[in-house]
Amino acid sequence: MTVDRYLRLIAGSLVLATILLGVYHSPNWFYFTGFIALNLIQSAFTNWCPMMTFLRMLGAKDA
């Protein structure tokens, strides 16, 4: 898998997890969901995301 595919997998999983936590545990988890969304929007304009740097350090391949 490439960095982009890992990034989509991780972001989607975190969004789903924080929505479930927000509904069933505490609404404060929606702040983390918002943070993920802002990070994805920022990365669309800059083509840089902290998770992408971390994944590259772990050895994930670029496209």
Residue 62 lies inside a defined structural domain of this protein: no
Q: What is the reported pTM?
A: 0.86
Residue 27 lies inside a defined structural domain of this protein: yes
Residue 53 lies inside a defined structural domain of this protein: yes
- Please report, in tens digits, the pLDDT of each residue of the chain (63 residues total): 999 999 999 999 999 999 999 999 999 999 999 999 999 999 999 989 999 999 999 999 998
DSSP-assigned states of every residue in 6-54: HHHHHHHHHHHHHHHHHHHT-TTHHHHHHHHHHHHHHHHHHS--HHHHH
Residue 24 lies inside a defined structural domain of this protein: yes
Domain hosting residue 21, numbered range: 3-57
Q: What is the number of domains present in the chain?
A: 1
Residue 9 lies inside a defined structural domain of this protein: yes
